[in-house]
Amino acid sequence: MMSSTFCFSQEIKTLFSSNDSKKNLSFGRYGGPLIETTQINSDWGLTIGGKGGVIINNKFAFGGIGKRLVSKNNFLGNNLNGNESTSLTLNYGTGGVFGEYIFNMVSPVHFSIPINLMAGNVSIEENNVDIESSTLFIFEPGVNLEFNFSKYFISAISVSYRQVFGGSLVNLNNRDLSGLNIGLVFKFGNF
C-alpha cells in the first residue's frame, strides 16, 4: 500500500471556456505516506498509511486514504468463553476517500481542512486467534498545518478526530474506537 501511494504529478493543465475567455483551471497530483499517534481503546497507538489525490486550482483536493494500526494494543477483556479478564489484542485498519480545502497554498506556511470518509475492520485476538471482528464506518474531520519545502514536497502536521459508527463488538464500543489523531503527512508531487 505504501509504495502505491507515492504518486508524482503531471504537468499543470490550463483549460479554456467555450467563449475563449481565459478561465484557468489547474490540476496536479500528489501522494505520500502518513504516520499518526492515535487515541484508541483508552490508550495511544501508532498508525501508518498513505494518502494520494488530485488538486484543483490549488484549493480543493480529492483522493484516497488508508491507515493501519501497527502498534500492539493489548487489554483485558471477555474472550467470549466465560473468562472476563483475558489478555486480548486489538487490530484495526481502514481505507476510503478524502476531500480537502486548502487555504492559500502558494504561501510557504498554510492550512488545510481535510475530511476523511472511510470504512474498515477491527478485530480482537486472543493468542493470535480472532475471537470477534466488526466492520466500521468512520467520519474523520481534521486540520493540517502545511509547510512548502519545495515545488515538489509539502509536509504537514495533522490533527483530526476519528468518529466511529457501526461497530458491533462485545469488548469495545464505538466510543472506545473513536479518538484523536496527531501526525505527519508527507506529500510528494508538483505543487
Helix (H) or strand (E) holding 176: helix 174-177
Question: How far does CA 141 lie from the centroid of its chain?
Answer: 10
For 108-151, write each residue's pLDDT tens digit.
999 999 999 999 999 999 998 999 999 999 999 999 999 999 98
pLDDT at 172 over 70: yes
The whole-model pTM stands at: 0.83
Q: Name which of 147, 145, 137 is nearest 113 in CA terms.
A: 145
Return the closest-CA partner of residue 145 out of 155, 131, 160: 155
Confidence of residue 191 (pLDDT cuts 50, 70, 90): confident
**Distance (Å, rounded) from C-alpha 8 to C-alpha 88?**
41
How many Å separate Cα 166 from the centre of its chain? 18
Closest to 89 (Cα-Cα) out of 135, 133, 126, 134: 126
